[in-house]
Amino acid sequence: MPRTVITLIGELTYKRTYYKHKSGTMIYLTDHIIGVESFERVIKELCAELVQKAASMSMQKVVNVSNVPVSRQTVNNKVLSRQPKNNQKSS
């Protein structure tokens, strides 16, 4: 089954093959080589660029100026995932 991830230059679709690593674990070699983690649909470099742009413009404008097919919700999720967690003191 082909896998699709969104990169800085657009969508990348490729076929994966499962290989046994020398440590004994099973890995997708292509994912390992290009640095894609399990269940990742948008690469880290693109996430960082989206968050950086969202700091100075609206999420809709980020979507409009990006060369890649992402939604406002994706931009919002990436911004929220980069915010530090609030340390709540227990009473």
- Of the chain, the percentage scoring pLDDT greater than 90 comes to 60
Task: Output the pLDDT for position 88.
Answer: 47
Q: What is the DSSP string of the chain?
A: -EEEEEETTEEEEEE--EEE-TTS-EEEHHHHHHTPPTT--B-HHHHHHHHHHHTTS-HHHHHHH-SS---HHHHHHHHHHHSPPP-PPP-
Task: Output the pLDDT for position 83.
Answer: 75
pLDDT digits (tens, 9 = 90+) for 13-26: 999 998 998 899 99
pLDDT digits (tens, 9 = 90+) for 44-77: 999 999 999 999 999 999 999 888 889 999 999 9
| pTM for the full predicted model | 0.76
Task: Output the pLDDT for position 75.
Answer: 92
